[in-house]
Structure 1
Amino acid sequence: MQDKVKITSSHRVLIVALLAAAFACYLLVAPYINSIVMAFIISLLMFPIHEWIEKKLPKAPNFAAFLSCTVLTFIIVIPLLFVFAAIVQQGSSFSQNAYQWVTSGGIQELFNHPWVVKGLAFVNSYLPFDDIDPKQIAEKAAQLASTLGTNLVAVSAKILGDATNFLMNFFLMLFVLFFLLRDHDKIITAMRHILPFSRSQEDKLLEEIEQVSKSAVMGSFLTAIAQGFAGGIGMWLAGFPGLFWGTMMGFASFIPVVGTALIWIPATAYLFLTGDITWGVFLAIWSIAIVGSIDNILRPLLMQGSAGMNTLMIFFSLLGGIHLFGLIGLIYGPLIFAITITLFNLYEEEFKSFLDYQDHH
Structure 2
Amino acid sequence: MQNKYNVTYVFFGFLFLLIGYLVWMMARQMIGPIIFGLVLAGVFNPLKNKIISKWKVTNYTSSILTTLIITLLVLIPLIFLALALSKEAVSLYQRIVSALAHHEVDNFLFGQGAVADLIRSFSQMSGMDIDMDQVKTAVLNALKGASGTVISSINSIMGNIITFIFDLAIMMIVVFGIFIEGKHLKNYIFDLSPLPSDQEQKILEKFNQMNYVTLVCNGVGGVIQGVLAGIALWFTGFESIVLWTVVMVFLAFVPLVGISIVTIPASLYLVLTGDTGAGVGLFIFTSLVGLIVENWFKPKFIGDRIKINSTFVLLTIIGGMGVFGMGGIFYGPIIGILFLTVVEIYHDQYNFVVE
State the TM-score bracket (shorter-chain normalisation).
0.7 to 0.9
Distance 1:296 1:11, change over 3 A: farther
1:198 & 1:112 partners in 2: Cα distance?
63
Give the CA deviation at 1:70: 1.6
Distance 1:300 1:277, change over 3 A: same
Written as runs of structure 1 = structure 2, the 5 A alignment for 1:33-52 is 33-52=31-50
1:218-261, Cα deviation, whole Å (9 max, x unpaired)? 35433432221221132123222444432232233355665423
2:305 & 2:21 partners in 1: Cα distance?
29
Give the CA deviation at 1:340: 2.5
Written as runs of structure 1 = structure 2, the 5 A alignment for 1:175-194 is 175-194=173-192
Number of the residue aligned with 2:273:
274
Distance 1:77 1:132, change over 3 A: same
Written as runs of structure 1 = structure 2, the 5 A alignment for 1:195-344 is 195-241=193-239, 242-254=241-253, 258-291=257-290, 294-295=293-294, 309-344=308-343
1:78 & 1:212 partners in 2: Cα distance?
24
Cα contact 2:226–2:245 (8 A) shared by 1: yes
Residue segments in structure 1 that go unaligned for 5+ positions in a row: 1-6, 145-150
2:277 & 2:283 partners in 1: Cα distance?
10
Give the CA deviation at 1:124: 7.7
Cα contact 2:256–2:310 (8 A) shared by 1: no
TM-score (norm 1): 0.73
1:186-217, Cα deviation, whole Å (9 max, x unpaired)? 11221222222223223222222222222232
Number of the residue aligned with 1:132:
132
Distance 1:315 1:219, change over 3 A: farther
For residue 237 of structure 2, give the secondary structure of its aligned residue in structure 1: coil
Distance 1:158 1:29, change over 3 A: closer
Amino acid aligned to 2:168: F
Task: Give the total of aligned pairs.
Answer: 336
Cα contact 2:104–2:273 (8 A) shared by 1: yes
Amino acid aligned to 1:122: D
Give the CA deviation at 1:114: 8.2
Cα contact 2:255–2:310 (8 A) shared by 1: no
2:112 corresponds to 1:118: yes
Give the CA deviation at 1:291: 2.7
Give the CA deviation at 1:27: 2.6
Residue segments in structure 2 that go unaligned for 5+ positions in a row: none
Distance 1:158 1:325, change over 3 A: closer
Q: State the identity %.
A: 21
Decide which structure has the larger Cα Rg and report it: 1
1:153 & 1:332 partners in 2: Cα distance?
23
Cα contact 1:238–1:279 (8 A) shared by 2: yes
2:78 & 2:92 partners in 1: Cα distance?
22
Cα contact 1:219–1:302 (8 A) shared by 2: yes
Distance 1:297 1:311, change over 3 A: farther
Distance 1:308 1:260, change over 3 A: closer
Give the CA deviation at 1:113: 6.6
1:152 & 1:208 partners in 2: Cα distance?
33
Amino acid aligned to 1:132: M
2:282 & 2:233 partners in 1: Cα distance?
7
